[in-house]
Amino acid sequence: MGVPVGTNVPDDDIYNTKFLDLCKGLNLDKNAASRAWETYLAVKENYSLDGDPCHWLACAIYVACRNVTEHTVGDSETLIEGNLVSLTRLLRLCNISLIHFIGKSKKWADMINMPPELRRKIDKLEKNFAVSMVIFKKFQPIFGAMFNISKDEQTKTRCSKKQKVTCSASKLFEFCWTLFIVAKSEFPDLSENLVNSYHLLLACCDYVYTNILIADLRDLLNKSFGGLPHDFESTSYVSPSKPICVIDYLCQQYDGITTDAKVIKEYFWKTNLKKLIEKKVLKGDPDLNLLLDVVNFDFNYKAINKRYEQYVLSVGEFDERIFLSENANTEIGASNECTTEDLAKEMKNQKNNLFNPQTPLTGRNHLKPKIDLSDESTPVKNASEMVFKIQSILADCSPYPSDKLIALLKSCSTTLKSEIEDLINMLGSKFCSQYCQVDHNSALHNDFAEKRLIMAKIWFYKLFENIIAKEAKNPKYDIKNLICHTVFHETLFACCLEMVIFACNSQRAFPWVLNALQIHPYHFYKVIEVIVRVEDKLPRDMIKHLNRVEEQVLDSLSWQSESPLWDLINRNNKLIPHYDDIALVSVGGGAQVSHLNHKIENNRFAHKDSPVSDRFISPAPGQPNIKMGKQVTVNENRQYFSVSSRSNGVSLPTVTGPLKKIGTLGLFFRKFYNLASVRMQDLCYQLSINDEDLMRKIWTCFEHVIIEHTDMMRDRHLDQILMCTIYIICRVVNLNLSFQAIMKCYRTQPQSASHIYRSVLITPRNPSQENDGAQRNTEQRIDLIKFYNTIFVQIVRDNALKYSTNSNNDNLTLSPLPATKTQLQSPTTRRVNDRLPIFIRKLEAQASPIKSPIRPLSYCINQSPKKDLENINMITMRAITKKRNISDGHHDGPITKQKTPSPPVITKRLQGLLEERMEHNTDK
């Protein structure tokens, strides 16, 4: 992907020598071939396509085939996707590995401005492949522990279709994996779900193991396997006639969740197997056994492969039997020296992004230090431990109000308990119906939905009681305002469901829960921070997820046309506050750094003591409070008034007058400004914009856009406005900075996504036509640079020119930069690791805000002696001493010296930061 340039290879040669051969090899129809070739020529005219042309032709053919969805002959309900073209065969003919193809296809999607639906299909392809990679890596040691592979044939010969296949260890390995991927293909809900896919694998291994026992193929069993019958080695041993379950043992040994694995086995595995036997796809008895019997194995081995080949052709997905291939390293994209067991390492970066997303910029203040830095953690282990931690948090709790909570509710109103329970039951019914709607056979998902719902109810009542108890400690707060607020209960319950779904590694990504419960994301941000502060045992990954969700709500979801935010803005006479009007700390433009630090240290947690009811102070449009004997409602200005009667159960105050520093609208913009400030300052730091005056100009211009041109945010993204603001201010102050450089730095931020700068709405949608499908289909989108040139600069130019270096406006007032914790550590000061007191700051900084009771060690690049750096390294390398338990007693003899653990993570971060600083000095 690059600037428009020509190519030295004539198009006719590519068409005649490569494209036609691909079409013949794939048996591609004329329409799909024509679409693929036309798209390839259009892209080649505008971009330089480096590398082998066949790789780009593979992308063009794949997209052309994925755009076709047809019904099968004689069956109007069965759809065929992918135009009956095997992706695996396409990649083999084009000589491109799967990993490289996924990377190329993402670039291709940007160049052709691919529709969101096709982008989701590519993302799903990548997600499925990453899940399968992890599952296959887990499958190998499990199979080796259960079955005897030492005496298997040394060479693997490929059998002809007429040759009878015998049940050897290698064929059993292939059969077990193919049986698993066939079962997984029958349930698309499991394909992207790592935990459920893994439990399906355990069910498959359990089933194959049981069939081996029943078929009395004892030579294939590993005699050291712990799940063998107790009398297996005795002479009186008789093979069992009924299945023996080893799910408990497998979960215990290989990081599984027993209850979920048994549910998968009962409702998914057995159901699918029974269907295959009833349709005579496989041969077995009515009890689902004898699949591996000597008489049936040849038929079942060939039948299961045929079944999967039909699925691959009809759906257009990649063939997961690729892991069994002798050329797996080459076809997947691994190096030739890499063994099959190490294939997952080739997807390390992709797995980190898919299974362990980066920490949001605003979420690092809430995170505790990471304790487990070992390499033993795996995606499956981490996901399983998440569920175990949630279960430990909810231990000894019930999905009903406790006696203490019931007494508290009765003190407010006799009907309050039943009204809250009715509300939760109604939301639970919505959740279950939407959860089961994913698959045609909803009964299979009903058990999962019920389990998730019960966990969410337990968490809801636990958090509800803890929040109310914390509020009641302060006699100045009236807890009735919070208890009687419907939006509070809805968002709290929705957040509990979101946390449970995330812990279970479901593919129902946010905001699926809110859509299922019909709750707008704008209300959701109000409860997230409350939960994080009340529930101090939340896992790190859960806190990171909640922070990502909160950022999503603030940067884009709340600015959708149908958002209640617009109604609140209109009711406030379209008055948007400045940051300084609603900030927790009033910051002056000329405040010194040390003074700022002192004020923030004293006021950082001031908002913790504010009542939670402030977040829900004004009823949202169409959201009534829970009824009490005498309803109390609070408007945005904290004016309390009684309501004796209501029309249609709703009473909405008319807000007049200026916006106060408190209220839902003020709290929203406080969080919004904080998020914008953190992201803006991070971009400035990466762009080497260290001049505080320049950053204040950028921030003042950004505030102007939000306050005076609020509609600029409608159906758009915060990052789009930020990048445009940074660029226009740099232009007017004659700073040589390209838009590409800004976008390059933006891509390093955790929340970045290509569609943010590839697809920007030209004109906001009409809110009255928000549900009109035709309106959405006809909306026009352009890239960020075109948006800047055609819309943004036309609106903001006059204001931006005020900040020009040639301007004579001496009365120009710049807004102060928001004083956030992130600002103090970046770019002024950056902490390398949470567990060690090591900081890095700018060389030109006047004073360090970090106070230490002892003389700190310091090292200045290109100035300090080598020994100073060695002393700092000794701190990072030293072991962390632990106190010995009294029960350990005393030992006679020499004490063994503990091995000093190596800190590769800390050392790597230090090295990277030092190299970054040296490179920055060199550029100057």
3-state per-residue secondary structure call for 891-911: CCCCCCCCCCCCCHHHHHHHH
In terms of Cβ atoms closer than 10 Å to its own Cβ (0-12, 13-18, 19+), residue 396 is exposed
- Residue 566 belongs to a domain with what CATH number? 1.10.472.10
In terms of Cβ atoms closer than 10 Å to its own Cβ (0-12, 13-18, 19+), residue 709 is middle
CB–CB of 304/177 below 8 Å?
Answer: no
Q: For residue 18, what are the contacts with CB-CB under 8 A and spacing of at least 6?
A: 53, 54, 57
Nearest to residue 667, comparing CAs of 489, 519, 530, 465? 530
| Secondary structure (DSSP) of 23-55 | HHHHT--HHHHHHHHHHHHHHHHHS---S-HHH
Structure tokens at 227: 């799940």
Task: Tell me phi and psi for residue 172, to 5 degrees.
Answer: -65, -40
The sign of the dihedral angle between the CA atoms of 8, 12, 17, 22 is positive
The verdict on 532 and 574 lying in the same domain is no
Examine residue 295 and state whether it is found in any structural domain, yes or no: yes
Examine residue 333 and state whether it is found in any structural domain, yes or no: yes
Check residue 572 and give its pLDDT: 86
In the block, which residue shows the tokens 């090295």?
911
Structure tokens at 274: 């029974």
The verdict on 323 and 250 lying in the same domain is yes
Nearest to residue 463, comparing CAs of 426, 485, 488, 484? 488
CA–CA distance, 594 with 601 (Å, rounded to integer): 11
The verdict on 833 and 698 lying in the same domain is yes
Task: Tell me phi and psi for residue 428, to 5 degrees.
Answer: -65, -40
CA 775 to chain centre: 30
Following CA atoms 424, 428, 429, 431 in sequence, which dihedral angle do they give, to the nearest 10 degrees? 140
CA–CA distance, 169 with 146 (Å, rounded to integer): 11
Nearest to residue 681, comparing CAs of 823, 579, 820? 823
Examine residue 867 and state whether it is found in any structural domain, yes or no: no
Q: Is the peptide bond before 827 cis (omega within 30 degrees of 0)?
A: yes
In terms of Cβ atoms closer than 10 Å to its own Cβ (0-12, 13-18, 19+), residue 78 is exposed
| Secondary structure (DSSP) of 332-347 | HT--TT--GGGGGGGG
Structural domain span for residue 454: 379-555
| ∠ Cα 214 215 221 (to 5°) | 85
CB–CB of 164/294 below 8 Å?
Answer: no
Per the DSSP assignment, residues forming a β-bridge with 634 are: 640
| Secondary structure (DSSP) of 439-458 | SS-THHHHHHHHHHHHHHHH
Counted domains in the chain: 4
Question: Can you list the residues of the chain whose pLDDT is less than 70?
Answer: 1-10, 68-83, 150-163, 189, 191-192, 316, 334-358, 363-379, 382-383, 438-445, 585-610, 617-662, 764-778, 807-810, 820-856, 862, 876-924
The verdict on 109 and 185 lying in the same domain is no
Structure tokens at 471: 């509020």
The verdict on 38 and 18 lying in the same domain is yes
CA–CA distance, 145 with 226 (Å, rounded to integer): 9
| ∠ Cα 660 665 671 (to 5°) | 105
Task: Tell me phi and psi for residue 124, to 5 degrees.
Answer: -65, -40
Listed residues 338, 365, 398: the one ending a domain: 338
Structure tokens at 376: 């033993």
782: left (phi over 0), alpha (psi -120 to 50) or beta: beta
Distance (Å) of CA 663 to CA 491, 604, 675? 17, 19, 18
Check residue 650 and give its pLDDT: 30
The verdict on 110 and 124 lying in the same domain is no
Per the DSSP assignment, residues forming a β-bridge with 839 are: 831
Per the DSSP assignment, residues forming a β-bridge with 833 are: 836
CB–CB of 7/48 below 8 Å?
Answer: yes
Nearest to residue 787, comparing CAs of 717, 700, 698, 684? 717
CA–CA distance, 623 with 350 (Å, rounded to integer): 42
Check residue 739 and give its pLDDT: 92
Examine residue 680 and state whether it is found in any structural domain, yes or no: yes
CA–CA distance, 245 with 263 (Å, rounded to integer): 13
CA–CA distance, 13 with 90 (Å, rounded to integer): 20
Q: What is the 3-state secondary structure (H, E, C) of 89-129?
A: HHHHHHCCCHHHHHHHHHHHHHHCCCCHHHHHHHHHHHHHH
Check residue 838 and give its pLDDT: 67
The verdict on 406 and 328 lying in the same domain is no
Nearest to residue 519, comparing CAs of 538, 495, 501? 495
Q: For residue 73, what are the contacts with CB-CB under 8 A and spacing of at least 6?
A: none
Examine residue 664 and state whether it is found in any structural domain, yes or no: yes
Check residue 26 and give its pLDDT: 86
CA–CA distance, 551 with 535 (Å, rounded to integer): 20
Examine residue 770 and state whether it is found in any structural domain, yes or no: no
Examine residue 450 and state whether it is found in any structural domain, yes or no: yes
CB–CB of 203/265 below 8 Å?
Answer: yes
In terms of Cβ atoms closer than 10 Å to its own Cβ (0-12, 13-18, 19+), residue 503 is buried
On the CB side of 523, CA atoms within 13 Å amount to: 29
316: left (phi over 0), alpha (psi -120 to 50) or beta: left
Per the DSSP assignment, residues forming a β-bridge with 847 are: none
Distance (Å) of CA 198 to CA 205, 342, 448? 11, 18, 16
Nearest to residue 627, comparing CAs of 646, 608, 614, 613? 646
The verdict on 70 and 199 lying in the same domain is no
Nearest to residue 400, comparing CAs of 425, 430, 435? 425
Check residue 591 and give its pLDDT: 39
Listed residues 841, 871, 890: the one ending a domain: 841
Nearest to residue 554, comparing CAs of 706, 717, 364, 685? 717
CB–CB of 756/782 below 8 Å?
Answer: no
Listed residues 338, 353, 387: the one ending a domain: 338
CB–CB of 569/710 below 8 Å?
Answer: yes
CA–CA distance, 667 with 568 (Å, rounded to integer): 12
The verdict on 327 and 446 lying in the same domain is no
The verdict on 46 and 17 lying in the same domain is yes
In terms of Cβ atoms closer than 10 Å to its own Cβ (0-12, 13-18, 19+), residue 281 is middle
Check residue 914 and give its pLDDT: 59
Check residue 559 and give its pLDDT: 95
Q: For residue 559, what are the contacts with CB-CB under 8 A and spacing of at least 6?
A: 565, 713, 714, 715, 716, 717, 718
Q: How many CB atoms sit inside 10 A of residue 916's CB? A: 12
Examine residue 358 and state whether it is found in any structural domain, yes or no: no
Check residue 887 and give its pLDDT: 39
CA–CA distance, 208 with 218 (Å, rounded to integer): 13
Task: Tell me phi and psi for residue 640, to 5 degrees.
Answer: -90, 135
CA–CA distance, 183 with 177 (Å, rounded to integer): 10
Q: What is the pTM of this model?
A: 0.66
The verdict on 176 and 235 lying in the same domain is yes
CB–CB of 861/921 below 8 Å?
Answer: yes
The verdict on 678 and 713 lying in the same domain is yes
Q: For residue 96, what are the contacts with CB-CB under 8 A and spacing of at least 6?
A: 52, 54, 55, 58, 104
Check residue 898 and give its pLDDT: 43
